[in-house]
Amino acid sequence: MRIIYLDIDSIRPDHMGCYGYERDTTPNIDRIASEGTRFNDCYCASSPCVPSRASFMSGRFAVNHGAFTHWGPGYDFYYPEGDGHSETMPFFTRHLRKAAYKTVTFSTFGDRHHAWWYFAGWNEVHTHSLKEGNEDADEVNAAVIPWLKQHGKEENYFLHIQYWDPHTMYTYPKEYADMWKDSPVKTFPNEETIQEHRRDIFPRSASFLHTANEIPAIMPKQITSRSDFQQLLDGYDGGISYMDRHVGQLLETLRELGIEDEVCFIISADHGESMGEQGIYMEHATATEAVHHIPLIIKVPGVTKPGTVIDGFVYNVDVIATITDLLRLEVPSGWDGTSFLPALKGEHWQGRDYLVMDHGLYTCQRAVRDAKWYYIRTYHPGLYRFDVVTLYDMENDPNQLINVADIHPDVVKEMDHRLTEWTQQNLAQPGHRVDPMQKVIETGPWKYVTLEGWVQRLRNEGWDEAADQLLNKYQA
């Protein structure tokens, strides 16, 4: 079987045509979706980039693989000690390669995040630049398409292609953002909500949108109004559109090779992106719906029925288990994922009753999601504004605006029980080390933006009272 896995950084499902978006951002991906199966309820178990892709490589939750943040305490990837590799918890790529599948990646992720474990098991690693993840889709395709022309007709390969374009900063040609300036704009956040967000003092808030000095012309400097929000949204959608155009180039290459209808496609993401939820814009800083809900599209010739749409909760680690099962390989006992291959075959299948997810870069949070409720326990808010316990009614409040924890104590109790049970089950596994979240809590989630640096910025911009409040919060 020939498998192409498109790993699209920071893409939200609700910004894709096949998920109902009003803007025609993804016509090429939509065509793949129309020929295969679309999952409505796929979530990354851990965010952002490092913990999510560590789950992709290991088949395990971050609490078990250890790479909970991007560097420093809580970043260590847990793996059996000594020489050799584990048979119970093998790397996904090694597992496929041992079964005679050629494993190939076009990604600078391991270089960007100094992740030694990312390089395990691939036959070929193509970093194709030294930009460390800031490549535009044309630069990725300049490396991928020659490979496809040379090797695409071979049998039994797993080709992983990572596109970065929806991730800030937006560096693709400006006309791809301009094409959306006269198109409909999502109603959330409205003008009143944006003005409320203007009072927030954390990174990626409406008033503090950027943490870098050089800002592409595509992007607004702040979110002062719906007009600025539209500019930001146009920039995000422009990155998605630019990426999708290059997916079209892949399809054209496969067509030229005569194998377009013979390739298995899997399209997903490492995480999503906040676009105003909780007052956060163009960032993946929390264990919230906007960050953890990811697309999942699977087309398997001879297996999936065209145009199928599936509801039911699945993790990204379940995707790895399903690929393994699809190839008739044993799903390793040390993985946390469960195969949903029966769903792809149109057989009886039921998704997970609920999901437990976490984040450890900008905040320390764990969340529980079921069909109606989204529960978040914040262990360390970092520089952000979160209650210790948050509960959202996703049926009536999909944008997660109102914390209803106080009026639903019974739901909070049940969700907290689920979280405690999940944590205990994972930490009780034989040979388990300390919960990596504890390491981040102890030192604070100060990575790309430090407490001291942010306090200084607030003072520099005349927010002295806010700076004092932040210092008092953590120095008391």
Residue type at 411 in one-letter notation: V
Query: What's at 228, amino acid-wise?
Result: D
Q: Are 298 and 345 in contact (CB under 8 A)?
A: no
d(C-alpha 209, C-alpha 466), whole Å: 17
Residue written as token pair 């539209």: 230
What was the pLDDT predicted at 207? Answer: 97
How do residues 215-258 score in pLDDT, each as one tens digit?
989 999 999 999 999 999 999 999 999 999 999 999 999 999 99
Domains of the chain plus CATH, in order, are: 2-352 (3.40.720.10), 356-475 (3.30.1120.10)
pLDDT band at 475 (very low <50, low <70, confident <90, very high): confident
pLDDT at 286 over 80: yes
Alpha-carbon span 178 to 238, nearest angstrom: 8
Closest alpha carbon to 196 in 279, 288, 280, 277: 279
Q: Which of 136, 189, 168 is nearest to 10 (CA)?
A: 168
For 64-86, what is the mean pLDDT?
A: 90
As beta bridge partners, residue 46 has 358
Can you give the pTM of this predicted structure? 0.97
Q: What is the mean pLDDT of residues 453-472?
A: 95
Percent of the chain with pLDDT over 90: 93
Are the C-beta atoms of 57 and 46 separated by less than 8 Å? no
Structure tokens at 322: 């399903």
Please identify which residue in the block is written with the tokens 């395709």: 141
How do 293-299 and 263-268 pair as beta strands? antiparallel
pLDDT score at 433: 83
**Angstrom distance (rounded) from CA 106 to CA 159:** 8
Nearest Cα to Cα of residue 230 among 215, 243, 245, 218:
218
Residue 304 pLDDT exceeds 70: yes
* Size (the chain), residues: 476
Say how far apart CA 420 and CA 283 lie, in whole Å. Answer: 28
State how far the Cα of 141 lies from the Cα of 153, in Å rounded to an integer.
18
> CB count, 10 Å around CB of 389?
16
- Looking at residue 213, its pLDDT comes to 84
